[in-house]
């Protein structure tokens, strides 16, 4: 029972795909694509062993060289859609109870929050609009 070279390449690609799922290393997926390209070279084009290895190396290297930097850039970027307390930073709120350095209450995004003035010397009176600078625990820091 003689197995063709293209089948060995597909077995290798499947093994790399399984390793990709287990380890979550995207480079293994790129190597798997290179193995599929080598299988195509062998099965459809009848390329010899040297051609298969060259195609595997070129495709795998090209994918790693092109895709990896793009993926790294995307991973380093902050999400464009802010959620949770990050979505509240920069929003405006209305003072419900006098806010100063020791505390107070504001209405922020339809909810009542405890608040504290960023500048200890400032106070904000009822009805005044303030900007949320930061959230510390359950307290909004306003100015």
> For residue range 12-32, what is the model confidence (pLDDT) as tens digits?
999 999 999 999 999 999 999
Q: What single-letter DSSP state applies at residue 48?
A: -
Cite the beta strand spans of the chain per DSSP E: 92-100, 103-108, 111-117, 129-136, 139-142
Neighbours of 62 (CB within 10 A): 14
Average pLDDT over residues 55-79: 89
Name the band, by pLDDT with cuts 50, 70 and 90, for residue 76.
confident
Closest CA to 17 of 35, 29, 30, 34: 29
> For residue range 108-131, what is the model confidence (pLDDT) as tens digits?
989 999 999 999 899 999 999 999
Burial pattern 87-122, b for ≥16 Cβ within 10 A else e, equals ebeeeebebbeebbeeebbbebeeeebebbbeeeee
The tokens for 102 are 């020791």
């Amino acid at each position: 029972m003689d197995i063709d070279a293209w089948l060995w390449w597909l077995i290798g690609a499947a093994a790399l795909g399984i390793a990709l799922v287990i380890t979550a290393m995207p480079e293994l997926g790129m190597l798997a694509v290179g193995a599929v390209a080598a299988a195509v070279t062998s099965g459809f084009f009848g390329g010899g062993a040297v051609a298969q290895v060259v195609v595997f190396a070129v495709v795998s290297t090209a994918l790693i060289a092109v895709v990896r930097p793009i993926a790294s850039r995307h991973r380093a970027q902050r999400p464009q859609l802010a959620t949770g307390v990050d979505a509240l930073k920069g929003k405006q709120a209305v003072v419900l109870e006098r806010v100063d350095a020791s505390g107070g209450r504001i209405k922020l995004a339809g909810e009542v929050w405890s608040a504290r003035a960023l500048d200890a010397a400032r106070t904000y009176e009822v009805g005044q609009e303030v900007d949320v600078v930061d959230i510390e625990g359950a307290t909004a820091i306003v100015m």
